[in-house]
């Protein structure tokens, strides 16, 4: 702290308080011993956590969210990794143009994207709710797969692949033994970001869900419309704890700094 400017430290603390401030009342409401939403809570009790874990609509929606996040992340990585590899080896002009194209699902409002997918898939093509959700989440997650894995691939030394091919390795062997290990931190980071994004998505899932195929955030939103108990606050606190744990484990095993922390990653945007 001695080498940092006091003003910058104060701004950082204010920003941290701004980000974490709204979370504290949610945690306090989840720990209340009362039957209604109130803060500060009247007494502390973990009973709402037990009720959130045992609430059947939440459990059914949780299964849908987990399956959707896993399948959408896998599809996005299967599609995004080859694109990122091709863009990394292409010229700067093509890389900038096509790379911008793959960021459009993040730029376009999710309500617009969701309505377009609803009209095309569910109305015109009669695709079921889970198929529409899977297509929508895959499109939404594709930018993370392309950009994050591309940033990891941009750090790779091209001479490694050239050396492997010079020693007689086939294209597949070079890809599995050289390229994939180099891209592993980016793949892990992209997978974590994709799972979290898919799991927490509301606008897209709200438009594409159907009877029996509702994601957890949408089910929690429906519960808030008709109930005034701390059940959703308890579920949110559990999800927050899970997200923090996954992030810490991922940073420990792969390290986001290996993907974003060096200047070589800026080659992707040149």
How does pLDDT run across 238-247, given as a tens digit for each residue?
888 888 887 7
* Mean pLDDT within 65-92: 86
Bond before 40 cis per omega within 30 degrees:
yes
pLDDT digits (tens, 9 = 90+) for 163-203: 766 677 776 777 777 777 777 878 888 888 888 888 888 88
> What is the separation, in whole angstroms, between the first and last Cα of the chain?
34
Distance (Å, whole) CA 38 – CA 43: 11
**Domain range summary for the chain, segments of one domain joined by +:** 56-227+239-269
- Please state, in angstroms and rounded to a whole number, the distance separating the CA atoms of residues 265 and 155: 6
Distance CA 29, CA 141 (A): 32
Q: Which fold has domain 56-227+239-269?
A: MetI-like fold (1.10.3720)
Q: Is the Cα torsion angle 270, 97, 79, 141 positive or negative in sign?
A: positive
CB 33 within 8 A of CB 45: yes
Tokens of 41: 């809570």
Those residues whose C-beta lies under 8 Å from the C-beta of residue 217, and which sit 6 or more positions away, are 65, 199, 200, 201, 202, 205
* 196-231: pLDDT as tens digits: 888 888 888 888 888 878 898 999 888 888 878 888
Tokens representing 145 are 């797969």
pLDDT for 149: 83
Cα 199 to Cα 191: distance, rounded to the nearest angstrom:
12
Structure tokens at 261: 């922390």
Q: What is the pTM of this model?
A: 0.78
Q: Which residues contact 219 (CB under 8 A, 6 or more apart)?
A: 57, 58, 60, 61
């Amino acid at each position: 702290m001695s080498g940092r400017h006091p003003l910058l430290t104060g701004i950082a603390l204010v920003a941290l308080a701004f980000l974490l401030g709204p979370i504290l009342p949610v945690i306090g409401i989840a720990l209340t011993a009362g039957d209604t939403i109130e803060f500060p809570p009247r007494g502390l009790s973990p009973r709402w956590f037990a009720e959130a874990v045992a609430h059947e609509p939440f459990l059914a929606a949780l299964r849908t969210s987990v399956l959707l996040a896993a399948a959408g992340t896998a599809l996005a990585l299967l599609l995004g990794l080859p694109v990122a590899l091709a863009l990394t080896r292409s010229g700067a002009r093509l890389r900038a143009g096509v790379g911008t194209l793959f960021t459009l699902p993040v730029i376009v409002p999710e309500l617009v994207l969701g309505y377009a997918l609803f009209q095309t898939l569910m109305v015109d093509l009669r695709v079921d709710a889970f198929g529409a959700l899977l297509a929508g989440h895959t499109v939404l997650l594709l930018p993370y797969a392309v950009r994050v894995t591309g940033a990891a691939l941009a750090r790779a030394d091209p001479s490694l692949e050239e050396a492997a091919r010079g020693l007689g390795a086939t294209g597949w062997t070079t890809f599995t033994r050289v390229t994939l290990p180099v891209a592993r931190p980016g793949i892990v980071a992209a997978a974590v970001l994709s799972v979290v994004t898919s799991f927490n998505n509301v606008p897209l899932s709200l438009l594409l869900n159907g009877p029996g195929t509702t994601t957890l955030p949408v089910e929690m939103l429906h519960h808030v419309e008709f109930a005034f108990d701390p059940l959703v606050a308890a579920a949110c606190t559990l999800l927050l704890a899970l997200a923090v744990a996954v992030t810490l484990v991922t940073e420990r095993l792969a390290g986001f700094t290996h993907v974003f922390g060096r200047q070589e990653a800026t080659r992707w945007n040149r």
